[in-house]
Amino acid sequence: MFFPISDDDRKLDGPAYVTWALLAINIVVFLYQMAVPEFTYAWSIIPYEMTTGEDLDETLILETGGQQIVIPHQPGPPIIYLTLFSSMFMHGGFGHLIGNMLYLWIFGDNVEHRFGHFWFLIFYLTSGLVASLAQIMFTPDSIIPNLGASGAIAGVLGAYMVLFPRNKVNVIFFYMIVSIPAIYVLGLWAVTQIFNTYGSMFVSSQTGGVAYMAHVGGLAAGVAMGFIARVTIKEEPDSILYRQYREDPAARRLW
C-alpha cells in the first residue's frame, strides 16, 4: 500500500488560506475535545438522531456480540442537525487527526487553487455533508457517534483525481520514497474504500469502527464536483503550475 507524504506543488502560486484555516480549526476543535470530553458525545453525529430528530441525552448500553458497550450520550445542540457540520471538524484520537490532516495538507491546496477560496470552502462542506448523509442512509438506526473530517477529505481526494490525475505524489512504498501519478495513488485508495464498504455490509451497523460509507459518499461527491468544475470553469486560473501543464507534454492531464 502506498503512503503519501507530499505532492509536486513546489511551483504552485498563492497561499491556500482555506486549507490552512481548516487545518487550524480541526486542531483547535480536537484540543477542545481533549479538554472537555463531553463535547465529543454532544456534538458528534448519531444516525438515529438524524433519522428521528430525537436528541439522545443519556448513557445507553449497547449489547452486541455478547459484549456490552457503554455509550455516554450528552445533550446535543438546540438544533440537533447542526451536528452534521460540527462532526466533520472532530476526531477520535491523535492518529485519526494526524492521518486526516496529512491528506488535507497534501491535496487540499491544489484543489483550492483550482476552485478558488470561496468555492473550495463550499465544496469541502458539501463533501462532508454528503458523506454524513451516505453513512446515515447506510446505518439509519445506529446510536454509535460518528465524527471526523474523513468524508470531506475524501471529497478533496476525489476532486484531485479528476483535476490533477498526472500530478506526481511522493509516497512511501516498501521503505522507499517513490513518485507516482496521483491517479494511481488515489485510485487505489478509492478502490480500497469501496471494497471495505462492501465488507462492512456483513457487519452489524451497531459495532462501530470506520464509517467507510462516509468515505465513499464523500469521494463520489468530490469526483462529481470535480467533473462539474472541469465543465463550468473553462479556464484554469493562471499560475506557474498551469503554465507547466501547457509546456510539458508529460504533465498533461488525462482528459
Name 220's Cβ contacts closer than 8 Å, sequence gap at least 6.
130, 134, 158
For the chain, give the longest Cα–Cα distance.
63
Give the burial class of 187: count Cβ atoms within 10 A of its Cβ; 0-12 exposed, 13-18 middle, 19 or more buried: middle
User: Which amino acid is present at 210?
Assistant: V
Q: Which residue blocks in 78-170 are alpha helix, DSSP H? A: 83-86, 94-115, 117-138, 150-163
| Domains of the chain and CATH, by start | 3-251 (1.20.1540.10)
pLDDT value at residue 14: 75
Q: Are 123 and 155 in contact (CB under 8 A)?
A: yes
- The model carries a pTM of 0.84
Nearest to 92 by CA among 132, 49, 40, 55: 40
H/E element holding 168?
strand 168-173
Per-residue pLDDT of the chain (255 residues; tens, 9 = 90+): 678 888 877 656 678 999 999 999 999 999 999 999 999 999 999 999 999 999 988 877 776 666 777 788 889 999 999 999 999 999 989 989 998 999 999 999 999 988 989 999 999 999 999 999 999 998 898 888 899 999 999 999 999 999 888 888 888 887 888 888 888 888 888 887 776 654 444 444 444 445 778 888 999 999 999 999 888 875 555 555 556 556 665 544 443
